[in-house]
Amino acid sequence: MKIAALEYKGNLRVESVHLNSNQLIFTDAPKDNNGEGRAHSPTDLFCVSLASCMLTMIGIKTKSLDFDPSGTKAEVHKTMDSDPRKIKQIDIHFQWNQKIQDNKLRELLTQTALNCPVSLSINPDITLNTYFNFE
């Protein structure tokens, strides 16, 4: 199934068109790798995709529960290796939209996030740290 069409625009910038919606995403090489850093780098998008997948799966899982995750935030930190250049570590910090005291709900949200399709596709050499602030 085709999902996107990409074009190298020059100067280390790539345009990607989502074929179903025609929305655009641009990537730029980061400043520390000869780029201008005007947009997410491809490795940034990799990490952002992980957090987005986690939040999306939580949204799907909680549709049938008395819990609305709208307003929940995630902050993503990326650490790179230099030789070869690759993602070494991803840290994701979740801040929930409300205080969650129910331990079963906490576990459900945690396991749903950790078992999203992107998370299950990540190379085991990448260290993944997730922090869930339920308070």
Q: What is the pLDDT of residues 23-71, one digit of tens each?
A: 999 999 999 889 899 999 999 999 999 999 999 999 999 999 989 999 9
pLDDT of the residue at 135: 87
On whether both 66 and 95 belong to a single domain, the answer is: yes
Tokens for 46?
């990799």
User: Are 23 and 74 in the same domain?
Assistant: no
- Spatial contact of 93 and 72, defined as CB atoms under 8 Å apart: no
Q: Are residues 25 and 75 in the same domain?
A: no
Q: How many domains would you assign to the chain?
A: 2
Tell me how far apart the alpha carbons of residues 41 and 92 are, in angstroms, rounded to a whole number.
17
Structural domain for 95, as ranges: 41-133
In this structure, which amino acid lies at residue 17?
V
Note whether 67 and 33 are same-domain residues.
Answer: no
CATH classification at residue 73? 3.30.300.20
At 101, list the tokens. Answer: 């005291």
What pLDDT does 40 receive?
A: 95
0.85 cut: is pTM over it?
yes
Are residue 68 and residue 51 in the same domain, yes or no? yes
Decide if pLDDT at 84 tops 90.
Answer: yes
12/70 same-domain check: no
